[in-house]
Structure 1
Amino acid sequence: MTSLPVFIILMGLLASVSHLTAVPWKYEPVDQNFPTLTPDTAVTFDWPAGVDRDTVGQYQVESRHQELSVERPATGEHQRIRILIRTPKGASGNRPAVVFMHGAGYGTCDNSFGDVARTLASAGFVTAVLDKPVWSTTDADRDYPASAKAYERVANLLRDRDDVDASKVGIYATSESTWIAAMLLTMDHRIAFQILLSPMVYSPRHAMGFFVAQDFAIAGANQGYQSVVRRLFSTDASLLGLNNLDIDPTDRYTYAIPTLLAYGAKDVMTAQVEGVQRVLSQAHASGNENVTVRSYPVSNHVLRLGDEARSGTPLADHYQQDMIDWAVGQVHGLHQTSPSVGGATIHQSIAVPTDLRGRRSLTIYMLVLHLLTLVLLLAALVMALVAGLMKLFRLRRRKDPVLGFSHGFGGTLVTITGTTLATLVLFGAGLGQVIMAVVRLGWGGVPDQAGVSYWSWPVIQVVCALVIWAWSRTFARMVEVASLRGLDRLPDQVRTSKAGGPSLRQQMRSMDPRPVLASTRFGVALFVVTTLAMFGVLLIFAFWGLFIYQ
């Protein structure tokens, strides 16, 4: 009669937390398609008679390194970057040029874009690949405006060269750097053209929320883990000093110049259908009709045929030739004769979650809950270690017990704590497996078959219910023991004392002196701290949606 109400109250509280922290998410429309005008990806132009056409392999390529110091204006920090400039040997006149912009990670001038930059140079372009400007930032707090200024300096460096036509300097940007490219085009209106691979057309919050949710499903993770995605990408990161999540990657300059969009049909990170629609809409609004879209079958997010984590993974068939044909046609100002949209049918599995937004109250609750639980767990661990050392010391000298738990509460505490922490480890293992699968998908690999990431969610839900039942039984037992010791009469004793009867101390001396929890204050303190820590873990489970049973 006591355990059941306690169980219902605890379950109701935790289920309420799960529902109150739930974030709505619209996945519709699903399975969108953007049909191409032709399966052929070739890019052709109306070449006038007598005009020489630069082709792949026409020139030998010379390479030379330069160094440049770039500043991060927000902090005054400087980074010495190396720039690898490739030039077409023997090419006459001033040549067009391309600045390469890095995607996620920490690429250098020597290990990035080597095949594409060399091929472009062999077709008559001067290319510049630089060390990624990162300063002391991480992936979480990358300084995009400062990065845009660094790339602008490299573009100006190319314009100042005697062998470069300053009016024909373009950019080649992939993935994350397309957010920076948008800022660069706002700063530098002299950029002549842009080649964008898998562009991130939406804000980081919406773009990353899309690909993580999609990849969780592709990896076979239990549907419950989607609640983690929803809550995570509803974080108000500005509270942590992170301001990149909600940058607007489009303005009237972003797609106002000749643009080539290239996608891989097996890209699992980019919202391609809505992305193409938005690019075309923004370009047309800026008065630009010169947008070419190409979709390549079999290729991944960076247009590679396989896992990019392995060296030597080739680019999609015909991509380099098509890209260079397009760039050559642009710098000559020719009329394109091939369809603007070609290649494999463009597909998108779910909608971009554009209704996602930072939720400040949810973020504050999340931070306070996780930090407080961590402090309690560390405090419980330290107290347990101290108790163990004291027990060893006292055993050797046959002194009084350190904790002195009574009525089996010590064993119960160990059992429930171990079960709760094991459940926490299982949750971490399930989440870890799906994260690793998402990373492999991002690199173009195939994830392992879903295991713990699928069955762990319902198992954790069942175990959590059993743990709460065990806690309710423990609390009921504590109430029972306390009543047997006469502690349930404490309110009456207080009233008697206030009415002029025996003092509260005198009345308590007549009660059963045996302890309810433990015979030592340290034991009682350890029980209370550990209980609060385990309840904090359950609240964390509730925050991430584990108490939504459906």
Structure 2
Amino acid sequence: MHAAEPTARQTGTLPADTLPTDTTAERGQRPQQEPAAWSRGHRLAVSVPIFIILLGILVGVSHITAVSANIQPTGQTMSMLTGDTSVTFNNTTGHALPSVGTYKVTQRYITIDAKRPSTGEIQHIRVLIREPKGAGSNRPGVVFMHGAGYGTCDNSFGDVAYSLSSAGFVTAVIDKPIWSTTDITRDYPASAKIYDQTINYLRSLKQVNAAKVGIYATSESTWISSYLLRLDPKIAFQVLLSPMVFSPRQSLGFLASQDFTLVGAHSGYQSIVRRVFDMDGTLFGLKNFDLDIEQPDAYSIPTFVAYGSKDVMTAQVEGAREILDLAHRSGNWDVTIRSYPVANHVLRLGNEADSGTGFADDYVKDMVSWTVGTAAGLEQTSERAAGTTLYQSIAVPKDLHADRGLTLYGAWIHIAMLVTLLLTLIIGIVALIRKIVFMIRRKGPALGFKYGFGGALLSLTITTLATFLLFCGGLGQVVMGIVQLAWGGAPAEDPGMMYWSWPVIQVVCTLVVWAWSRVFTRLIEVAKTRGLAQLPPRKGAIGDVVSGREPVLASKRFARVLFWVTAFAMFHVLLFFAFWGLFIY
């Protein structure tokens, strides 16, 4: 009788398809029983504290980064002495003073090499010289100074320079000195030297009286003129259009705050202004926010100041008062102020970029009359302050200052958000490709998310990014409204998205935080099921989760990386919202 064949149990082997799958049993442990799912009340009890903690962090960030600025008093006015803006003098010369159109005008170009002292950089600048034909010698001169932008001698000041030349002035319009700078890195002291170089060129001409050369400055260039007057106190007179009397931080902070209000932006968007202008620009090489320009020397010569009633960029009441105060402190009482109805920031009746857009009312005639009489040394007989009443909606926010801590945190949160979003985008694209490949090859789940975490991650990511786009859209509409306002347009009757988007974003952000708290609650619940949420963790639980044998999030390691990277990026988007004040309710 043959011996019985050994059984599989006797040989210690099992067929491949009967291998045990319970790793705990394989280790000689009792198989882990699945705990019962939490009740709704249990989940709510865990979700609420998580929600409060997350929301508390975001609300705290919003309040810590908030910047207060005193914009009181509001609705300031300054009455003029008369509504008649004409400028007259006691003419003792015995002959009529020249006016617009008295002389024909010739023009020619020269080129100067403008050297930037701080770097040695050279810009070849063209200068357009206009001269009154047949006016003889001993003529006064005017050099024009550009406002913001990239003006050239050909596309700037053409009509007003021609008008002054036709009244007997030799005028010079130059290409704006910009070198390799940008709008926010302009070198104002260097620009002042180039304008003074042009002034000295006019002084060198035979037909020009060197003691009667003045300047015509508008908007941004009135910051430069402050340096120029300190550099060259022999300048004879100055015409200032919509002068930016205060430092760039204060002037631009006022401009943005006022215009955000005028276009109807929600107060939340207006709070962004204060955070922006409390930044320490020196950390990024921006040194122009706190220029020392409020100096008596800047107004120590005869000065003509002109404002337009539709100018939404200039603090007119406080600016006029500051000019008068500084001028009087320098011993100068020869300051004439004119205010014109309907005129915008550049004293035009519309967009200066549109051809044929004229100056407001009698501005050119008044300005020419003043420069002619002043250059002739005559005594002014008209009122010093005339025109429409000056109005200023809010006070200049003079308490804005450079906050280095806020700047460092703001830079970190923006960089971190961009980096994490970029990383999420890369991993998300790889995940999409992986999913497509797995579907084509029918290899099963590409990511293996469990318990609905994949769908929750996708919906929360889409919601958060859509909210981010809504924020950008609302802020973009505010900016476009301000641009239209700056060029003389009227604000829309219905502000639309720039108003309703802010509270909508606040509500959605709160709901997103609540949704994330529910996701984390579910993670804790599943982790407890897997033996992780206990002290000490169940033996082998961590290894089972990491290996994917008993996953909490997903069976694939790539999916787990995708989840946590995306969650980290979305949290940074929420921190971004908190930085800009969206969690101040």
Q: Which residue matches 1:210? A: 254
SS at match of 1:492: coil
Is 1:238 aligned to residue 274 of structure 2? no
SS at match of 2:126: strand
Q: Measure the CA separation in 2 of the matches of 1:547 and 1:308.
A: 41
Aligned match for 1:138, one of 168, 182, 189 = 182
Q: Measure the CA separation in 1 of the matches of 2:488 and 2:93.
A: 43
Aligned match for 1:263, one of 297, 302, 307 = 307
Q: Measure the CA separation in 1 of the matches of 2:471 and 2:295.
A: 42
Q: Measure the CA separation in 2 of the matches of 1:510 and 1:274.
A: 67
* Paired AA for residue 170 in structure 2: V
Question: CA distance change for structure 1 residues 141 and 508 in 2, over 3 Å: closer, same or farther?
Answer: closer
SS at match of 1:253: helix
Mapping 1:76-475, distance limit 5 Å = 76-399=120-443, 401-448=445-492, 449-475=494-520
- The 8 Å contact of residues 544 and 550 in structure 2, kept in 1 or not, is answered as no
Q: Measure the CA separation in 2 of the matches of 1:323 and 1:544.
A: 44
Q: Residue deviations 1:26-49, cap 9 Å, x none? A: 121111111100000011111115
Q: Which residue matches 2:24? A: none
Q: Which residue matches 2:554? A: 518
Q: Measure the CA separation in 1 of the matches of 2:511 and 2:542.
A: 40
- The 8 Å contact of residues 100 and 163 in structure 2, kept in 1 or not, is answered as yes
Q: Which moved more, 1:446-455 or 1:374-383?
A: 446-455
Q: Residue deviations 1:400-450, cap 9 Å, x none? A: 533211111000000000000000000000000000111111122224441
Q: CA deviation at 1:134?
A: 0.7
Q: Which moved more, 1:470-479 or 1:303-312?
A: 303-312
Q: CA deviation at 1:252?
A: 2.9
Q: Measure the CA separation in 1 of the matches of 2:147 and 2:542.
A: 74
Question: CA distance change for structure 1 residues 309 and 455 in 2, over 3 Å: closer, same or farther?
Answer: farther
SS at match of 1:83: strand
Question: CA distance change for structure 1 residues 158 and 536 in 2, over 3 Å: closer, same or farther?
Answer: same
SS at match of 1:358: coil
- The 8 Å contact of residues 292 and 341 in structure 1, kept in 2 or not, is answered as yes
Q: CA deviation at 1:395?
A: 2.8
Question: CA distance change for structure 1 residues 83 and 55 in 2, over 3 Å: closer, same or farther?
Answer: same
Identity %: 58
Q: Measure the CA separation in 2 of the matches of 1:24 and 1:361.
A: 16
Q: Measure the CA separation in 2 of the matches of 1:510 and 1:377.
A: 27
Normalising by structure 1, report the TM-score.
0.96
- The 8 Å contact of residues 196 and 259 in structure 1, kept in 2 or not, is answered as yes
- The 8 Å contact of residues 485 and 513 in structure 1, kept in 2 or not, is answered as no
Structure 2 unaligned segments of length 5 or more: list them: 1-44
- The 8 Å contact of residues 148 and 183 in structure 1, kept in 2 or not, is answered as yes
Q: Residue deviations 1:2-27, cap 9 Å, x none? A: 11111111111111111111101112
Q: Measure the CA separation in 1 of the matches of 2:431 and 2:219.
A: 53
Provide runs of 4+ in structure 1 moved above 4 Å. 504-512
Q: Measure the CA separation in 2 of the matches of 1:493 and 1:223.
A: 50
Q: Measure the CA separation in 2 of the matches of 1:383 and 1:400.
A: 20
Aligned match for 1:537, one of 573, 580, 585 = 573
Q: Measure the CA separation in 2 of the matches of 1:23 and 1:210.
A: 14
Q: Measure the CA separation in 2 of the matches of 1:460 and 1:292.
A: 49
* Paired AA for residue 275 in structure 2: R
Q: CA deviation at 1:520?
A: 1.6
Q: Which residue matches 1:65? A: 109
Q: Measure the CA separation in 1 of the matches of 2:517 and 2:542.
A: 30
Q: CA deviation at 1:312?
A: 1.4
- The 8 Å contact of residues 402 and 522 in structure 1, kept in 2 or not, is answered as no
Q: Measure the CA separation in 1 of the matches of 2:146 and 2:555.
A: 64
- The 8 Å contact of residues 103 and 132 in structure 2, kept in 1 or not, is answered as yes
Over alpha carbons, which structure has the higher Rg?
2
Q: Which residue matches 2:55? A: 11
Q: CA deviation at 1:132?
A: 0.7
Q: CA deviation at 1:519?
A: 1.0
Q: Measure the CA separation in 1 of the matches of 2:351 and 2:576.
A: 35
SS at match of 1:432: helix
Structure 1 unaligned segments of length 5 or more: list them: 495-503
Q: Measure the CA separation in 2 of the matches of 1:20 and 1:507.
A: 39
Q: Measure the CA separation in 2 of the matches of 1:415 and 1:180.
A: 53
Q: CA RMSD in A?
A: 1.5
SS at match of 2:536: helix
Is 1:484 aligned to residue 529 of structure 2? yes
Q: Measure the CA separation in 1 of the matches of 2:164 and 2:536.
A: 90
Question: CA distance change for structure 1 residues 507 and 15 in 2, over 3 Å: closer, same or farther?
Answer: closer
Q: CA deviation at 1:71?
A: 1.1
Q: Which moved more, 1:66-75 or 1:118-127?
A: 66-75
Q: Residue deviations 1:113-170, cap 9 Å, x none? A: 0110000000000000011111111101111111111111111111111111111000
Q: Measure the CA separation in 2 of the matches of 1:395 and 1:300.
A: 63
- The 8 Å contact of residues 14 and 547 in structure 1, kept in 2 or not, is answered as yes
Q: Residue deviations 1:87-117, cap 9 Å, x none? A: 0000112210000000001111111101100
Q: Which moved more, 1:298-307 or 1:395-404?
A: 395-404
SS at match of 2:165: helix
- The 8 Å contact of residues 549 and 555 in structure 2, kept in 1 or not, is answered as no
